[in-house]
Amino acid sequence: MAHNINFNEQTGRHSFFSVQQKAWHGLGQIVEQYPTSEEAIVHAGLDYEVIKSPLFTQGRTMSIGDSGELIEANDILVPNSFATLRTDTNTPLGVVGKDYHIVQNREAFNFFDAIVGGGEGILYETAGALGNGERIFITAKLPDYIRVGNGDDVTENYIFLTTSHDGSGSITAAFTPIRIVCQNTLNASLRSMTNVVRIKHTSGAKQRLENAHKVMGLANTLSTQLENIFNDWAKVRVTDREVRKLIQLALCPNKETFNLLKKGAEDEVSTVFKNTVDDAFEYAMISDTQQMATTKGTLFGTYNAVTGYFQNVRNYRDGEAKLQSIVMGGTAQLKTQKAFELCTDFAYSGAEIFNFN
């Protein structure tokens, strides 16, 4: 497969940029310093807008004018269908329906900007447009991350985003070990991505995109306060029984279940709740991320087990349902907040919080 990098005849440049490393295809702009999002958009040739234009087809119809004359019309409007169009080149990109919402290239960079609260420090590695500009991609690294103990640094992986303007697919954001430079490497990244979020081009897509980093576990990435809390929790030892109890309390769905837990009647809780707790506890015990010195048998590991359950174990109807649950005030967001509060109480009071006073 060819590189498929877009060539803009108006500018005489290929729509691609890379920091320092020249791509195998030798196209686009090579810059020595990491650019800002505004600079990256220009370097990559992504500084164009996309609009929806009414779609017409050719035909031959007759109508009667105001004066009774016959009027021949050759263009017939196709109802509820639109062409997406680049405004800089007037190039049609695809055909979409009336409910399709365009996410502009500049808005795609908001995903990265939201990670660090304004974009300062994001390391934009590559970006570009494919075909006629109907698909774009961006890869970046984080300058830093919350570090707990000597844990792995997430900046070892690239964060990438790709979206289309032709109605062919969702907005996709994920981690990948691959630095995207063309159609080939984009396809490879789509196969090897982890912690993926997909967002349909529907109403609210732009807001969901700006919040998608939270689903990927990138909320509060530069928060020193949160980093200190997690490092303290990594030093607090917990038994397996205490881990399970904390998970039960965090995931407790209602007062009736809470009362059953309070009086020790765990056998009487619903099967659905039992299975949920079992799945989260299993994640706490066997997940690779739970076997680190900072997570195995620690309070931080318990909190990480609850957040990890919602991000990596629980099944969702689709990517938007996951986003709603974790970010937009849904069940996962409420339960992880409850887990944070319980872990905070445990750090100060220990197992006394299980006395239900």
Amino acid code (one letter) for 231 = N
Does the reported pTM lie above 0.75? Answer: no
Query: Is 86 inside a domain boundary?
Result: no
Q: Could you tell me if 160 and 176 are in contact, meaning their C-beta atoms sit under 8 angstroms apart?
A: yes
Q: Do 211 and 232 lie in a common domain?
A: no
Query: Is 92 inside a domain boundary?
Result: no
Q: Could you tell me if 119 and 138 are in contact, meaning their C-beta atoms sit under 8 angstroms apart?
A: no
Query: Is 110 inside a domain boundary?
Result: yes
Q: Do 181 and 253 lie in a common domain?
A: no
β-strand partners of 72: 62
Q: Could you tell me if 108 and 124 are in contact, meaning their C-beta atoms sit under 8 angstroms apart?
A: no
Q: Do 137 and 15 lie in a common domain?
A: yes
Of 181, 215, 249, the residue that ends a domain is 215
Q: Do 211 and 238 lie in a common domain?
A: no
* SS3 call for 198: strand
Q: Could you tell me if 6 and 14 are in contact, meaning their C-beta atoms sit under 8 angstroms apart?
A: yes
Query: Is 40 inside a domain boundary?
Result: yes
Q: Do 236 and 341 lie in a common domain?
A: yes
190-208 burial: b if 16+ Cβ within 10 Å, else e: beebebbbbbbbeeebbeb
Q: Give CA–CA dist 148/230, Å, rounded.
A: 6
Query: Is 89 inside a domain boundary?
Result: no
Would you state the structure tokens that stand for residue 354, as one six-digit string?
Answer: 């299980």
Query: Is 90 inside a domain boundary?
Result: no
Q: Do 176 and 240 lie in a common domain?
A: no
Closest CA to 107 of 2, 204, 10: 204
Q: Give CA–CA dist 158/22, Å, rounded.
A: 17
* Distance from chain centroid for Cα 69: 58
What is the phi/psi pair of residue 245, to 5°?
Answer: -65, -40
Q: Do 142 and 248 lie in a common domain?
A: no
Q: Do 200 and 300 lie in a common domain?
A: no
Q: Do 117 and 258 lie in a common domain?
A: no
Residues 6+ apart with CB under 8 A from 111: 161, 173, 209, 210, 212, 213
Q: Do 132 and 272 lie in a common domain?
A: no
Closest CA to 116 of 213, 205, 193: 213
Q: Quick one: pLDDT at residue 153?
A: 38
Q: Give CA–CA dist 184/167, Å, rounded.
A: 21
Q: Do 27 and 124 lie in a common domain?
A: yes
pLDDT by 10s per residue, the chain, length 357: 467 899 998 889 999 999 988 777 788 889 998 898 889 999 999 999 999 988 887 766 656 666 766 666 667 778 888 999 999 999 999 999 888 899 999 988 888 877 766 556 678 889 999 999 999 999 888 766 555 655 543 434 678 888 999 988 888 888 776 677 777 777 777 776 666 788 888 888 887 887 777 767 665 454 566 778 888 899 999 999 999 999 999 999 889 988 888 888 888 889 998 999 999 999 999 988 888 888 899 999 999 899 888 888 888 887 767 767 776 667 887 888 889 899 999 988 887 777 764
Q: Quick one: pLDDT at residue 59?
A: 65
Q: Give CA–CA dist 70/304, Å, rounded.
A: 73
User: Structural domain of residue 171, as residue ranges?
Assistant: 7-49+100-215
Q: Do 245 and 309 lie in a common domain?
A: yes
Q: Could you tell me if 354 and 346 are in contact, meaning their C-beta atoms sit under 8 angstroms apart?
A: no
Q: Could you tell me if 77 and 56 are in contact, meaning their C-beta atoms sit under 8 angstroms apart?
A: yes
Sign, CA torsion 4/9/15/21? positive
Number of domains in the chain: 2
Of 215, 233, 262, the residue that ends a domain is 215
Q: Quick one: pLDDT at residue 211?
A: 75
Of 191, 215, 239, the residue that ends a domain is 215
Query: Is 177 inside a domain boundary?
Result: yes
Query: Is 1 inside a domain boundary?
Result: no
